[in-house]
A and B are shown apart, each in its own frame.
Chain A
Amino acid sequence: MSNSTTHSTGPTDQQAVTPEAAVAAPVTGGPSGLRRILRMLVADKLALLSALFLVIVILCAILGPLFLAEMASDTNLRARNAPPFELERGFAYILGGDALGRPLLARIVMAARNTMLIAAGAVAGSMLIGSTLGLIAGYAGRWTGEVIMRLADVIMSFPSLLLAVIVLYMLAPSIGNLVLVLAITRIPIYLRTTRAEVLEVRKRMFVQAATVMGASRRRIIFRHILPVILPTLLTIATLDFAFVMLAESALSFLGIGIQAPEITWGLMVSQGRAYLTNAWWLAFWPGLAIILTTMSLNLLSSWMRVALNPTQRWRLEIGGKKND
């Protein structure tokens, strides 16, 4: 299994989810589907709040750098460790200044982009590769399946810290390479889930019927199997997004992740740590940003678990109150 800094939330929920999700029939999309999802979101206040918060974070990540890049990198030693909640230096300093007098608010907004980019890249990458391998492992012959599963074992047991050092040493510490490291370590989660689901779904009536009726393997995979397992994968991905964010911050903390002058929330916490006793806000705000984002993702993921599952969906459609 991989080293503790990047260890699994994924498979845990996979277990909790699988039995229910496996009962699900393919989810159908369409415009009415979207409205339905929105209605379900409104029914769960916490999930709604989380979704709104995440939208704000994403907006910051996209738009922030356009306006704040300069402000976030301009050093100003007079505003060094400026305390929060003072407006005399302007609104950007509402959360205080960092050790070089750069406004923390601007830096947090700037850092949102890298943080999101890394987590999104790693999650998308591992989900894509992992589920593809999982599909192959579930559909191909015994030997191919076996080899792929052993590969998953090896990746699981490869110490992620070592992987990080190897990749960053050989390929220079850049965002892209960090994404690569994190993506590799998360592949087994998707691979195993996908394979387990495929093995299960293959046995179901409608798939067997399609096979008997001569549907091509591709058609079966894309029309019948993927739609069934996608909700599970998405739920895991949401959780994993939170997990990857924490893993990235832990790597930064240990000094083998993203390096200055690049900036992520995790790196901000780790740099602010030295000042914790006399300028707590340096580490506090980016830490809070991590916690709030991770929490929103966790909440959203548990909402999705219900919302994407037809046997549970009624709980939300009736309204949040009567769910016991």
Chain B
Amino acid sequence: MNGMLGKRAISSLVSLLALIVLVFFLSRLTGDPAALYLPVDASEAMRENFREIHGLNDPVIVQFGRYLGDLVQLDFGESLRKARPAIDVVLEAFVWTLWLALITMTLVTVAAIIVGSVAAFHVGRPFDRFASVLSLIGASAPDFWIAIIGIVVFSVSFGWLPTSGTGTIWHWILPISVLFVRPFGLILQVVRGSMITALGSPYVKTARAKGVKNRPVIFVHTLRNAMLPVITVIGDQAAALLNGAVVVETIFGFPGVGKLMIDSILQRDFNVILAAIMVTAVAIFIMNILIDIAYALLDPRIRT
């Protein structure tokens, strides 16, 4: 497993480096940050000065060399807009995103496994149908649509929840509910499908035929076998959330990495974009390792 890990780390690092190079050069083709940072009637001298201060006048390759040089000393550069270290800006935002992802995925996983398994035990019956259709509608609706309707209904009309922002536990309910919908639908489908297959496998049939009436026992055993594909989906969905839920964060004024990302992209704040990419890449790498460990725990065959 250690050798695997080393190899994985190296290939991830290679991908990350390639990504940094691409982002660094491509993002610099999307216009002059000075034009965006300074007011439209700022003079050429001011623009020139801005570029000089931020080293944007040097050839891009020189800028890149300097960036890499700083990077090996763990210096991610300054945010053009905020005049503070880019990494501080990103980490601040990332903490919010991490919590949001963690809470959402925990809820989604628990709910999807329970509902999906029950549906699998009752294939074709009303509960199964109902769960399937409901999860399907959820997975099919655009999230900004659900978010706005949610605010209109629960905050404005009923006044039950705060419209947006952070501060109390109540502020988390709407964003989490919106984020919950899509992964729930997807994972539910996979759990259900996987459970049906597992329930049809010879050993479960045998157990049932032998008259093992104990549903919990069957459930736990079947679930264990059905979990492998489910974990992959969970990993995928969690990775998506770690990248920041751009739309939801924008609507709810949630200070996560997705909102930061879209703002930085629109403002051409290059260092923040790069730092955000690196931080999320590391987080996703760590998560993938956790997933591998989960695999190994569930399936002894992989543990070689």
Interface set of A (CB-CB < 8 Å, partner B) = 1-5, 7-9, 11-13, 15-16, 19-20, 146, 150, 153-154, 157-159, 161-162, 165-166, 169-170, 242, 246, 249-250, 253-254, 256, 266, 269-270, 273, 276-277, 283, 287, 290-292, 294-295, 298-299, 302, 321, 323-324
Q: How far is the CB of A44 from chain B (nearest CB, A)?
A: 12
Q: Which of B81-131 contact A (CB under 8 A)?
A: 123-124
Residues of B within 8 A of A5 (CB): 246-247
**Which A-B residue pairs are the 9 nearest by beta carbons?**
A7-B240, A294-B140, A324-B123, A153-B15, A12-B233, A15-B229, A295-B140, A1-B239, A169-B30
- Interface stretch among B49-57, B160-168, B187-195, B211-219? B187-195
Please measure, in the bound complex, the distance between the C-alpha atom of A169 and the C-alpha atom of B97, giving whole angstroms.
28
Q: Which residues of A contact B27 (CB under 8 A)?
A: 162, 166
A1 touches which of B144, B243, B261 (Cβ 8 Å): B243
Asked whether A253 lies within 8 Å of B142 as measured between CB atoms, the reply is yes
Cα of A254 to Cα of B262 in the assembled complex, Å: 9
Give the distance to chain B from A196, nearest Cβ to Cβ, in Å. 12
Asked whether any CB of chain A lies closer than 8 Å to the CB of B29, the reply is yes
Least Cβ–Cβ distance between A49 and chain B, in angstroms: 12
Cα distance A276–B141 in the bound complex, in angstroms: 16
How many Å from the CB of B121 to the closest CB on chain A? Answer: 9
- Per the bound structure, the CA–CA distance linking A250 and B250 in Å amounts to 12
Say yes or no: is B204 at the interface (Cβ < 8 Å to chain A): no
Shortest distance from the beta carbon of B21 to any chain A beta carbon, whole Å:
9
Task: Identify 11 residue pairs between A and B in the complex whose beta-carbon atoms are under 8 Å apart, listed by A's number.
Answer: A8-B240, A13-B189, A20-B197, A150-B11, A161-B246, A162-B265, A166-B29, A166-B30, A294-B140, A323-B124, A324-B124
**Option from B18, B152, B242 in Cβ contact (under 8 Å) with A154:** B18
Known A12-B236, A20-B197, A254-B250; contact A157-B277, beta-carbon cutoff 8 A: yes
A16 & B144 in contact (Cβ 8 Å cutoff): no
Which residues from B are CB-within-8-Å of A283? 145, 148
CB-CB under 8 A from B245, the residues of chain A are 4
Q: B298 within 8 Å of A by Cβ?
A: no
In the bound complex, residues from chain A placing their C-beta under 8 Å from that of B237 are: 7-8, 12
Interface centre among B137, B141, B240, B243 (most CB of A within 10 A): B243
Given contacts A153-B15, A154-B22, A166-B29, contact A249 B139 (CB under 8 A): no
**B14 A253 Cβ-Cβ under 8 A:** no
Report the bound CA distance from A283 to B156 in whole Å: 18
Flag whether B63 is at the interface (Cβ < 8 A). Answer: no
A11 to B190, CA, bound (A): 11
Which chain B positions have C-beta within 8 A of A250?
A: 142-144, 246-247
B 155-190 contacts with A by CB, 8 A:
156, 186-187, 189-190
- Chain B's nearest CB lies how many Å from the CB of A228? 19
